Structure 1
Amino acid sequence: MLIDDYVADLSRALAGPSGPKRDLVVEARDSLTDTADALEAQGLDRAAAERVAVEEFGEVAQIAPGYQEELTVVAGRRLAAVLFLTLPLSVLIWSTIWHIFPGDHPAWSARPAWYTTATALLDAIQVVAGLYGALALLALGRGARWMRRPVPITRSLGLVVMVTLPLCGLLSLLVSAVSDLPAGFDRLAPVMLAEVATSAFWGLQFYGAVRCLRLTRRA
């Protein structure tokens, strides 16, 4: 097998973030090319040199699992960073909104007894998940050299998102439904920006979770 064919097979065997995947494939190609160049300098023709280089490098079935684990860990780090950054930020944004608006609106004092508990639970879920993201980011980053099984951490991040997103969505709907907010509240610029930011955060979390769960099954 020639280098181009080998690299194409390796690329097809791997899944994960496009940038890191491309870097791994390019690294493999460079290593194979250097070996083939050395063999060619020793007298082998180019085709034979490439075949020997590929044989010495190892079969795709042997090489791909290690590369795939590395890509899976990269996906886990990215999702951990998303959780660490977006969840506490969501709490901060909405805490600011609720403290400023709707101010002294009469209905604000007529909220049901469970309202405070629901909002506190919503904030707690997001903060705890964000802290877990921070710990996972540390474990998959600087702590990766001591982690014997990093893939389960990546999978746990995906599961955390799949649990917290529905809970946060449900609690948010309940809180909004009983808030009896003033007319036009949801059209205020800060509120609209907060809603857009939250939707973007949730989209990033969901995308990262799906990718992490898919990659950990593959790994």
Structure 2
Amino acid sequence: MGTDVIDRYVTDLGSRLQGSKKQVRDLITETRDSLEDATEAHLEQGLTETEARKKAVEEFGPVKEIANEYQAELAVAYGTRTLIWLAIILPLMHMAWEYGRMLLIGPWQDFGTPPPSWYLFIAKANDLTSGVASGVALVALVLGRILARKYDTKLLAKLAAAIALLAVGVVLLGNVAILVATAHLDVSRLMQSLPMSIASLISWTVIIRLGLLARRCLSCATIVG
């Protein structure tokens, strides 16, 4: 009966948390260990096992409040990880793509008829999106470290999630824009060599994966009360 008090508490707490499975598991383990330690202390004071476990749970705090505190911590950690991925992966992906394009396709002027100025504008804007999104993510990481001393972690978690989602959205918009522009200009240019087709597929897979991470980050942050 006494054991069930701690089990129910830990199970309820775990069901309320979203984030990295490892971090959630670690928090749950730490919580159980703390409750067991508190139980041992109460047993030494002469309480029965049932009373000791019940008192340990009561002293630890309402599960809703503890879950809210833990979730803020998980959301910040998830947001930080997502921003790090954005800061690193986006420029690397763009450099790999540009290298492949120059190696397998060549400069824009090698397409026969030079592209119109509007197309070059969209192409250059798309080239900038990865760098801008990566830079924003990096700045957010640095500022997050500084502001963490002054502002509530719940607010920082939501800001990190919003920035991550916005960064991925900008990159996605840039890629869709160049795809639509290319199809409008000359649909045959979408028929690339096999290596570039594979590179395009990898790029889209990475962007979608980053988008899912950003969405998950936002989900973790918005459930924080």
Q: Alpha-carbon deviation of 1:33?
A: 0.8
Q: Which residue in the other structure is 1:7 paired with? A: 10
Change (3 A) 1:6 1:106: closer
Task: Pick the aligned partner of 1:124 from 122, 128, 135.
Answer: 128
Change (3 A) 1:60 1:136: same
Distance in 2 (CA, whole Å) between partners of 1:146 and 1:193 is 46
Counterpart AA for 2:123: T
Change (3 A) 1:176 1:169: same
Q: Which residue in the other structure is 2:58 paired with? A: 55
Change (3 A) 1:80 1:43: same
Q: Alpha-carbon deviation of 1:168?
A: 2.1
**Residues 44-193 of structure 1 aligned to structure 2 (within 5 Å):** 44-103=47-106, 107-141=111-145, 144-148=148-152, 149-161=155-167, 163-174=169-180, 176-177=182-183, 178=185, 185-187=192-194, 189=195, 191-193=196-198
Task: Pick the aligned partner of 2:218 from 189, 213, 217.
Answer: 213
Q: Which residue in the other structure is 2:25 paired with? A: 22
Q: Alpha-carbon deviation of 1:17?
A: 1.7
Contact 2:122/2:177 (<8 A) preserved: yes
Q: Please tell me the root mean square deviation across aligned C-alpha atoms, in Å.
A: 2.5
Change (3 A) 1:166 1:184: closer
**More deviation in 115-124 or 50-59?**
115-124
Distance in 2 (CA, whole Å) between partners of 1:194 and 1:144 is 39
Distance in 1 (CA, whole Å) between partners of 2:6 and 2:163 is 37
Q: Cα deviations across residues 8-61 of structure 1 (Å, max 9, x unaligned)?
A: 111112122211111111111111111111211232222211101001111112
TM-score, L = length of structure 2: 0.84
Task: Pick the aligned partner of 1:31 from 26, 30, 34.
Answer: 34
Distance in 2 (CA, whole Å) between partners of 1:182 and 1:163 is 25
Report SS of the residue matched to 2:148. helix
**Structure 1: gaps spanning 5 or more residues:** none
Q: Alpha-carbon deviation of 1:203?
A: 2.2
Distance in 2 (CA, whole Å) between partners of 1:61 and 1:184 is 55
Contact 1:78/1:208 (<8 A) preserved: no
Distance in 2 (CA, whole Å) between partners of 1:215 and 1:103 is 43
Distance in 2 (CA, whole Å) between partners of 1:90 and 1:44 is 61
**More deviation in 170-179 or 52-61?**
170-179
Distance in 1 (CA, whole Å) between partners of 2:222 and 2:158 is 10
**More deviation in 174-183 or 54-63?**
174-183
